[in-house]
Structures are given as structure tokens and as C-alpha cells.
Structure 1
Amino acid sequence: MNQAKVPVWVSIALIPFINVMLAFFVSALVILALGEDPIEAAGYLIYGAFGYEEGIGYTLYYATNLIFTGLAVSVAFKAGLFNIGGEGQAYIGGLGVGLVCLWFDSSLPLMVIAPLAIIGGALFGAAWAYIPAYLQARRGSHVVITTIMFNFIASSLMVYLLVNWLKQDGRMSPNSRTFEESAWLPYMHELLAPFGIELSESPLNASFLWALICCVFVWGLIWHTRWGYQLRTLGTNATAAVYAGIDNSKVTIWVMLISGGLAGFVGLNEIMGVNHSLLLNFTAGYGFAGIAVSLMGRNHPVGIIVAAILFGALYQGGSELAFEIPTITPEIVVVIQGLVILFSGALENMLKDRIEGFFIRKSVA
């Protein structure tokens, strides 16, 4: 099929939109089977996500984590690498953020701690991605297998560190001490208040702005730099990349380092922005959800932002839905989220040929 004759907006916008609508249609059938009204359920979901300021704040708070992990997946995917280790890289990146805050919160101001935390999250996340990258580039181990395994290693390592080294004395739960306020990222309602913009309180914090900056960085890197050209060439045709003089092993390693560093920024939002202490399981599956966000967003930063907001809306709106209609339990909300992932990921090509064929025939006629 001649892809050149298919309008770009069809692949980038129309096909993902149709896939999401199919997912919602099947979700409506599930809700009907429970004896509830799908229209009423959709109203509660939309209202919970976008109907009031606090709900919007929560939606964007969830979306922040998904932007970071979605970007992490997309950078690797552009190079032909399927990084499924975002969960572990985010976990270890959060460790880097937390250690910076624990070490410097009583001696340095936020304007110094924040850049150090960004560097710490990026370095720790990249370091955790380095070993699978090295094994892929130099030893031929498949990056999918190694990154999955490193998720479990990261989880066990965090349990060990928090239980034996970082847990606050006299505390039963495996949490570090609470950071001093000098190591707290400001909330968005606090940032905007001096400008006369009043917002309801929510977990949305300054890391959302950093996520948007990272989107610009990834866009510039992939499409407007020599490194980005090497990255895309490797992902398109590894053999051609070799003939072009590109060191595929070297590119594989630095791409995975960038991917791991982006995933590590989840710690900025969760550790420094909301929880203000190191704790277990703060990643909450964002690393895996980032795969769906990246696929739905067609591995483009703009698409990733839109997909992340959609998933953030499902998280927040789903909570409102489960509260208002007890029959629709949180597990059913997870099913709805899973259907969106299924149709946007595994079944994304189900209608692709037919839709593109329609536009090709239309352009020929």
C-alpha cells in the first residue's frame, strides 16, 4: 500500500481516534451487561476528569507521569528498541531524586535542589537502563527480556534499601523521613496564585511544566539533530545504518540512556512533588501504561501529550465513576483502561488497511 498517498492526519489522528471509540463502544457493552446506563457512566467519567478544577488537576497530575514514561518508550522505539523497563527505570530514578532531597533539603534552597534532583533522576534512571542497553549492543541479549527482568530487580532493590537503610527510625512503614519544604516542588495552584489565577488545590505541580519541556527536547532531538537522524536510521533499517557509517551499538546505548533518564523523571512528580518522601510502589504501573501512551500517540511528543491526558482522564474519571455508580467497581474501570490499551496497542492495525485504502481510492478517483 502506498503510504505516501495517505494523508498524514489519517495515521496520526483519525486511526487512533477510531480505535479509542471502538474501545469505548466495547466498554459501553460491558456497562450495559452490568445493568447500568453507558451514557450516564460516560457523563460521570467526563465530569470527574474535566468537570471541575480539582478533577482537571488530578487528570494532569496523572498525565505528567505518563508523559515521562511515554516519551521514554517513544525515544527507544524510534531506534527500533522496545524498552519495557520504564517501570524499573522510573523506580530507580525516583531513588535518585529522593537521595538528592534527603541529602540537601536542610542545606540548600529549592532553586538549587530542583536542578540537582532533575540530574539525579536522569542519572539513576539512565544507569538502570545502561546494563540492558550494553547487553543488547555488545552481547546480543534482547532488550525486551532484560528490561522486563530489571523491573523486578529494581522492585527488590528498593524494598531492601527502604527497609534496611532509608526507613525513618521509629516508623513501621518502609518510608524515608519527610523532606524539608525546601525540597518540595511547588504546586501549580501555588505557582499561579501570584499572577491572580486562583485554582483549586490538587497534586498537580511544577513537574508538569518539566514534562512539557521534555516533549520539546525529544521533538528537537529526534527530528532536528544529527543524533536524531542516526537514531531514526537505526530504527528504520539497521543494515543501512551500518553502511551509512553509524555505530549501531553506540547509538543503542545512548538512546537507552536517554530513555531511562526520561522515565526517571517520574520521581520528580511522585517523590518531590506529591509524597515528599521515598516510599515503595510509587510508580503504580506508569511505566507499563507509558507503552500504550506512546503507541497511541504514534511516538510523537504531541500525540503522547494527548494520549497521556486521555489516560489521566481515565484514571481520575474512573475514580469518580466508581464512586457515583457502585456497581461499576474499580476493577471494571481497570477493564475499561485495558480495553483502551488493547485497541490502541495490540489491535491498532485492525482497521488500518481499510481506512487507508479508502483514502487512497479517494485520492486516485
Structure 2
Amino acid sequence: MSNRVKNIIVPIMAVILGMLVGTIIMIVTGYDALAAFTALWNGAFGEIYYTGEVIRQVTPLILAGLSVAFAFRTGLFNIGVEGQLIVGWLAAVWVGVAFELPAVIHTLVAVIASGVAGALWAFIPGLLKAKFRVHEVIVTIMLNYTALHVTNYIIRSVLSEKSDRTEMIKETATLRSSFLEGLTDYSRLHWGIVIALIAVFIMWFLLEKTTRGYELRSVGFNQHASHYAGMNVDKNIILSMVISGAFAGLAGAMEGLGTFGYASIKGGFTGVGFDGIAVALLGGNGPIGVILAALLFGALKVGALNMPLEAGVPNELVDIIIALIVFFVAASYMIRLFIDRISKKGVK
């Protein structure tokens, strides 16, 4: 069996195993698994409103997943997606509140600001990695907390008068659409899904069809060989982190300009950036895989809200299932070993 086929089978088996173990946990703890999954499906796709909410939830997950996946594909591990998302969120809202611009231009400037903010925040670990070989995992984890507390301070002390949130962004900057809301029975679906899909295409085109993308992947695969071939390793490391951070910043704009329309004091992380790691892992760090994984996670998260109401099952069980799926993806070596043994038996 080819590696390409294995790369498709492994995440599918991880999802099946995660669902299976989750079902066993439900049964052992006395819940009706069939009723739970029926409620989950109805809560995600039973009505057009829920479907709109699923797509809305999927939008930032795609961008967060692309951020992690891009870094993975270029040999880096960006754990700082959450922090980059938060600063991107704040930058987008600041532009949305502070400037008076025509409708489409205002939205475009706010979205660009979010990408630039995320890129600048990711530039820090990229520079430290390139120049001083400081591991990006440590720096990005610490910068998550820095981003959280710095943005909270700016919101409380600069963008609002001792309030826990900013003003609502101006209508000219919003991603919300009365057309999409009416189409989905007034869900919070917004035009950000189009931006997310454009970002998917950009990642694929950049990595697969450009010389720069080849250099980025080459440096990630083997820095010494890339340096010997005449590539600027340090420049490519920094560029990789900057692009990854830009995707994460855009994810923040989806929340600031679309779902909420403001930035508020956060008592903790949003979780979207960390979910992006799971999305990238399940999606095999590929653009299409990221879309499918984000759709699965978005459906699980939105559908879970209906489980206590319709089936009396706590929605925390969905978090357990997601954790199990990630576990089986991380333990893909065991799944691959199982597939190899089945293949060998089939050949015999």
C-alpha cells in the first residue's frame, strides 16, 4: 500500500476509533449513545440555522489549522497560533472602530491589519529561531500568554474607558451579511468563509507551485542540505513563521469582524488556536485535509450544544471524543503498523 493511501486511511481510522471509544464511554457511563449521536447530528445539520453556525465555527478553525500546517510543512512547530490569533483579533477590531472608510475598503484594511499583526507576532519566534536557534515551541508558548495579557491591557486602558470590551466595529468593517444571515435563518454566518477558502488556495499554491514554497519545504526538510544548495536558511525560517502567523491573525479577524464584532477582556484563551493544532494533525497538514478536519471539529462543537437538550448527554463527551481522535492521530504509528500487517496478509 502506498504512503499516499496510508495518509488518507490513517486520519479516517483515527476518527472511527475516536468515535468508537467515545461510544463505549457513553454506554459504560449509562448514556444512550444512539440518542447522543442523533442529537449531535441534529444540532449540527438538523436545521439550516445550525448548519450556518457550523460553517461559522469552521471558518477560524480552517485558518488556525492552515497556520499550524504551514509551519509543520516547513519544519517548524507553531504553538503560538492562539496568541497570534488574539493580536490579529485586536488589530482588526481597532481598525474597525478607529477608522472611517468606505464599506469594502474598511473591511479589507481591517482584515489585512489582522494578518499583519499575526505575522509580526510570529516574527519574534522566527527571528529568535533563525539567529539564535531558540526553539520556537518555547517562545511561541510564552508569547501566547504575553499576547493575552497585553491585549487585555490595551482593551481596558486604551480602546475603552475602564470597560471590559471595545465599542462595536463600524458597519463598514463588518464581515456579517444580511444575505447570509437570511439564507441561514439568522445564524452568525459571515463572509469570512470565503477568506478562509482563499487562504487554503494560497497555501497550496505557495507551497506546491512556487520556487519560494519549494525553498521553504526544503529548509524544513533539511537545513544543512538547503544551506549547501545556496538557500538562505535564516530568511526562510523567519518567512515561514511570518506566513504562519498571518494565517493565525486572519483567524482572529474572523472572530473580531464576523462572529462578535468587538474585542473583549479574556479570562483565558479562546481555544481556537489550540484546536488548530488538532485540525492540522487530523488533516495531515494538507489544505484539503485541513478543510475536512475543520468541518468535523466544527460540526462536533456546534452539534454538542444540542446533546444535553435532546439526549440528556453532557456535551463534555464531545471534547472527550475530539481528544481521542487527536490521540489516535498522534499514535498513527500503531495504525500504520496495523495497516502494514493487514496489507502483508492480503498479499500472501
**TM bucket, shorter chain:** over 0.9
Deviates more, 1:95-104 or 1:123-132: 95-104
**Structure 2 matches for 1:166-177, cutoff 5 A?**
166-167=159-160, 169=161, 173-177=163-167
Asked whether the equivalents of residues 90 and 283 of structure 1 are also in contact (C-alpha less than 8 Å), the reply is no
AA aligned opposite 1:153: T
| Alpha-carbon distance in 2 for matches of 1:6, 1:353 | 13
Asked whether the equivalents of residues 181 and 187 of structure 2 are also in contact (C-alpha less than 8 Å), the reply is no
| Alpha-carbon distance in 1 for matches of 2:278, 2:334 | 16
User: Of residues 322, 334, 337 in structure 1, which corresponds to 2:322?
Assistant: 337
SS in 1 for 2:333: coil
Determine the structure 2 residue equivalent to 1:294: 280
Asked whether the equivalents of residues 266 and 283 of structure 1 are also in contact (C-alpha less than 8 Å), the reply is no
Asked whether the equivalents of residues 119 and 249 of structure 2 are also in contact (C-alpha less than 8 Å), the reply is yes
| Alpha-carbon distance in 2 for matches of 1:10, 1:299 | 14
> What's the offset of the Cα at 1:130?
0.7
> What's the offset of the Cα at 1:223?
0.4
> What's the offset of the Cα at 1:110?
1.8
> What's the offset of the Cα at 1:180?
2.2
Q: 1:276-308, CA deviations, whole angstroms, 9 ceiling, x for partnerless residues?
A: 112134962010010110011111110000000
Normalising by structure 1, we get a TM-score of: 0.90
Q: 1:111-145, CA deviations, whole angstroms, 9 ceiling, x for partnerless residues?
A: 11111112101110001001111111101110000
Q: 1:34-92, CA deviations, whole angstroms, 9 ceiling, x for partnerless residues?
A: 21111111111112112211111111111111100000011111111000000000000
| Alpha-carbon distance in 1 for matches of 2:345, 2:287 | 30
**Structure 2 matches for 1:1-365, cutoff 5 A?**
6=2, 8-11=4-7, 13-104=8-99, 107-167=100-160, 169=161, 173-187=163-177, 190-191=179-180, 198-281=183-266, 284-326=270-312, 328-344=313-329, 346-359=330-343, 362=346
> What's the offset of the Cα at 1:360?
6.1
| Alpha-carbon distance in 2 for matches of 1:14, 1:315 | 23
Q: 1:121 to 1:204 in 2, by over 3 A?
A: same
Aligned length: 347
Q: 1:314-350, CA deviations, whole angstroms, 9 ceiling, x for partnerless residues?
A: 1001111122233x22333322222222222x22222
AA aligned opposite 1:19: A
| Alpha-carbon distance in 2 for matches of 1:46, 1:342 | 23
**Structure 1: gaps of 5 or more residues:** none
Asked whether the equivalents of residues 180 and 189 of structure 2 are also in contact (C-alpha less than 8 Å), the reply is no
Q: 1:81-106, CA deviations, whole angstroms, 9 ceiling, x for partnerless residues?
A: 000000000000111101111121xx
Asked whether the equivalents of residues 74 and 300 of structure 1 are also in contact (C-alpha less than 8 Å), the reply is yes
SS in 2 for 1:204: coil
| Alpha-carbon distance in 1 for matches of 2:323, 2:23 | 14
AA aligned opposite 2:294: A
Asked whether the equivalents of residues 6 and 359 of structure 1 are also in contact (C-alpha less than 8 Å), the reply is no
**Structure 2: gaps of 5 or more residues:** none
Q: 1:360 to 1:206 in 2, by over 3 A?
A: farther
| Alpha-carbon distance in 2 for matches of 1:45, 1:293 | 19
| Alpha-carbon distance in 1 for matches of 2:198, 2:269 | 21
> What's the offset of the Cα at 1:214?
0.3
AA aligned opposite 2:104: M
Normalising by structure 2, we get a TM-score of: 0.95
Asked whether the equivalents of residues 6 and 356 of structure 1 are also in contact (C-alpha less than 8 Å), the reply is no
Asked whether the equivalents of residues 49 and 185 of structure 2 are also in contact (C-alpha less than 8 Å), the reply is yes
Deviates more, 1:264-273 or 1:295-304: 264-273
